[in-house]
Structure 1
Amino acid sequence: MFRRRPSPDGDELLARLGSLTSLARERAEFQRSQVELAIALQRGMLPADLPAAPGLRLAARYVPACYGLNVGGDWYDAFRLPDGRIGLSIGDVQGHNIEAAAFMGQVRVGLRALASVTSDPGDLLAVTNDLLMSLGTDLFATCTFMRLDPATGLLESARAGHIPCVWATADGRAGITEDEGGPPLGLQEGMRYPVYRYRVTIGGVFVLVTDGVVEGPSLDLDEGLDQTVRLAGVAAVAGLGADALAGAVIKGAERVGHEDDAAVLVVRHDGATDHGR
């Protein structure tokens, strides 16, 4: 069968289409490499291990965003303080790219370093905020920092623009912490952050989350927090371990269709402590 040869204009069009296809492929490859780099950087900055204490168990989970390029801003951390207590932090950096992942590392390391000077949660957030302001970056972060005494189960907590925590007890009570927080870190100098005190009772749990766990296109924040409250309540009554609860909470995040990365940090008290301290 006779075929007409492409006209010069047709040849030029085919060449342009080929060029555009090649350019699109290169951009897609670059975009994918950026996402992979951000995920690797973010995961590399999360703690490899969580501290242990008699009667207390910690567990954590992290997953990248379900859709798009929104990765890099969330973190969790737990570390031993000089006086034997445990520092717990969870937070979310504004932005979802490599710069956000790098800034997240600065915030997390800054909290650890400054906690050796002052571990009071309110003071620690205040000095970390001033440190971030001195860096001159346009990024900011929400954060919750808690100081946990393993001997008594006392939790001292301060929030910097972050969503509240979820708690549950072995006798079936569960809810959301109702404390007053301060503004996010890195927005304004001289901020103060009030400290609130709680206690993790035997069989009880505290669950710290980022907004990717409880808020998204399919679920609003109140519904997402209520979902986490129900999970925590069931886990406390049933005696589920910290690791199982962390897994259930991060699994529940799939319901929100989260466009952000998501992190969970669980504290569970499953043994007796020395209340005579």
Structure 2
Amino acid sequence: MAGEDEGRPPRQPPLSDLQTRLRSELGRIDEQLGALLSSMDRLQGLLDAVVAISREVELPAVLHRIVTTAMDLVGARYGALGVLADSGELEQFITAGLTEKERADLAGTDLPRGRGVLGHLIRHPDPLRVEDIPAHPSSAGFPAGHPRMRTLLGVAISVRGEIYGDLYLSERLDGQPFDVHDENVVIALASAAGIAIENVRLFERIRIGAEQFQRLLLPTLPDLSPFTAAAIYRPAAEPSQLGGDWYDAITLPEGAVAVVIGDVVGHDLHAAAAMAATRNMLRALLFEHRNPPGDVLAQLDRTLERLTDHPVTTATLARIEPEGAGWRLYWSSAGHVPPLLITPDRRVEILLAEPGLPLGVDTGQSRPNHSHPLLPAATVVFFTDGLVEHPGHSIDDSLEELAGLAAAHAGLPLPEFVRALADHHPSDGHDDMAILALRTPPA
């Protein structure tokens, strides 16, 4: 009866229905949390990828890093980046993910010409997702030996509003086609990649300009007859830095020759300017005086203190004069690494001697002078510490290694000899380096 139901509480659903609804709600919340965590992981992965790309300072490394990080972000087996020439054709194609066998199978295959699905993205630079490459209207098939690929995700990379190239990814590791989430994260990566590429290109222009400026400050060695000489300068592995390394050599009266090599502390415009000022002042002192090298360095130190705000500088000044049937080397060091002496029979001696203080430390200290006889056809090698400094080795070990390298290449003409030392140096390359080698006339 209707009247009998009045005043009764509403009927509750069975307990099993409540449990079912609770499980469903918890499942939905769990899915949302999973999606949120996945999105956070992708965002963190994208941020890590952007940081990793921005750390690279050379273009080939940046391009390869873009491909590998994109593969990691979406779990792709294969990746490639095609760089476009001004004509719109592919001029470079960087790949990742290929096995050694797959690379061997592709040996001799020409660079992709931007046809097929790759060309479609070049002509239509909108993001492209393909679930079946052979079925795509633009597909042109694969060359012989190419691994079979079914899925593709392609995104254009722009630099300063112009298409620089295209990023291609193929075959997700889980076997699924690429989805909209993959597309979005790769689009975001491509935007960061364009900025990184532009930064590296700008960095490269700065590096080239700095290196050219540095080389303009260094002299071209004059004719030092009857001696022969060669010099080389190499910038640090870390680009865009001006260095303070320098060398010089001039002929003096009565058949003598003066040689200097030095290193101003620092890697900036101030160090480069100080290097040029020091070299020019030293030239004037050499022409004005016939004093021992130590006295000339002491005069240079006092002059620099009075006239300039000069940073600490190491240097070796040497003079070679005729003596009997041979020659004699006089030198003084201002805290500089010792030179090498190579005898005509290719024995190498490290000319260890009291180095004295660097310039700019204490002008009141006297500077030691040293001398050593030189045979005809002997070679003296002057260099800066960038040639031998390595955080994992002692300076003595590096000098011994350099001595062995010098002995191995002593038979080369001097230009090739200094190039061999610069190519195979025992240092870690963190600093710029300069080498000047001078050979006495043969008997």
Q: TM-score range by the shorter chain?
A: 0.7 to 0.9
Deviation sequence 1:210-250 (CA, Å, 0-9, x none): 011111345442232112211232344xx332222211111
Distance in 2 (alpha carbons) for counterparts of 1:117 and 1:129: 16
Which amino acid counterpart does residue 348 of structure 2 have in structure 1? A
Q: State the 1:71 CA deviation.
A: 3.1
- Kindly tell me: are residues 192 and 26 of structure 1, through their superposed partners in 2, closer, same or farther at Cα, counting changes over 3 Å? farther
2:415 to 216, 239, 243: 243
Distance in 2 (alpha carbons) for counterparts of 1:144 and 1:245: 21
Q: Any idea what SS the aligned residue of 1:228 has?
A: helix
Distance in 2 (alpha carbons) for counterparts of 1:224 and 1:77: 24
Tell me how large the CA RMSD over aligned residues is. 2.7
Which amino acid counterpart does residue 122 of structure 1 have in structure 2? G
2:268 aligns to what? 97
8 A contact 2:210–2:240 mirrored in 1: no
Distance in 1 (alpha carbons) for counterparts of 2:289 and 2:363: 18
In structure 1, stretches of 5+ residues that fail to align are 1-13, 273-277
1:215 to 385, 389, 393: 389
2:343 to 169, 179, 190: 169
Distance in 1 (alpha carbons) for counterparts of 2:310 and 2:298: 18
Distance in 2 (alpha carbons) for counterparts of 1:199 and 1:251: 30
2:321 to 124, 129, 149: 149
- Higher relative contact order structure (alpha carbons within 8 Å, sequence separation ≥ 6): 1
Which amino acid counterpart does residue 215 of structure 1 have in structure 2? E
Greater Cα offset, 71-80 or 172-181: 172-181
1:258 to 429, 433, 439: 429
Distance in 2 (alpha carbons) for counterparts of 1:244 and 1:142: 26
- Kindly tell me: are residues 139 and 195 of structure 1, through their superposed partners in 2, closer, same or farther at Cα, counting changes over 3 Å? same
1:11 aligns to what? none
2:233 to 45, 62, 83: 62
- Kindly tell me: are residues 143 and 102 of structure 1, through their superposed partners in 2, closer, same or farther at Cα, counting changes over 3 Å? same
Q: Any idea what SS the aligned residue of 2:249 has?
A: strand
Residues 91-240 of structure 1 mapped to structure 2, 5 A cutoff: 91-119=262-290, 120-149=292-321, 152-217=326-391, 219-236=393-410, 239-240=411-412
Distance in 2 (alpha carbons) for counterparts of 1:172 and 1:35: 38
8 A contact 1:123–1:193 mirrored in 2: yes
Kindly tell me the number of residue pairs found equivalent between the two proteins.
250
Which amino acid counterpart does residue 240 of structure 1 have in structure 2? L
Distance in 2 (alpha carbons) for counterparts of 1:102 and 1:161: 20
Deviation sequence 1:181-232 (CA, Å, 0-9, x none): 2111122222321111112213322111101111134544223211221123
In structure 2, stretches of 5+ residues that fail to align are 1-187
1:38 aligns to what? 210
Q: State the 1:98 CA deviation.
A: 1.2
Residue identity (%) = 35
- Kindly tell me: are residues 163 and 53 of structure 1, through their superposed partners in 2, closer, same or farther at Cα, counting changes over 3 Å? same
Q: Any idea what SS the aligned residue of 2:289 has?
A: coil
1:74 aligns to what? 245
Distance in 2 (alpha carbons) for counterparts of 1:192 and 1:264: 27
Q: Does 1:47 align with 2:219?
A: yes
8 A contact 1:86–1:150 mirrored in 2: no
Deviation sequence 1:15-34 (CA, Å, 0-9, x none): xxx9xx98x99987876665
Distance in 1 (alpha carbons) for counterparts of 2:415 and 2:206: 31
1:10 aligns to what? none
Larger Rg: 1 or 2?
A: 2
1:87 to 258, 263, 275: 258
TM-score normalised per structure 1: 0.80
8 A contact 1:93–1:139 mirrored in 2: yes
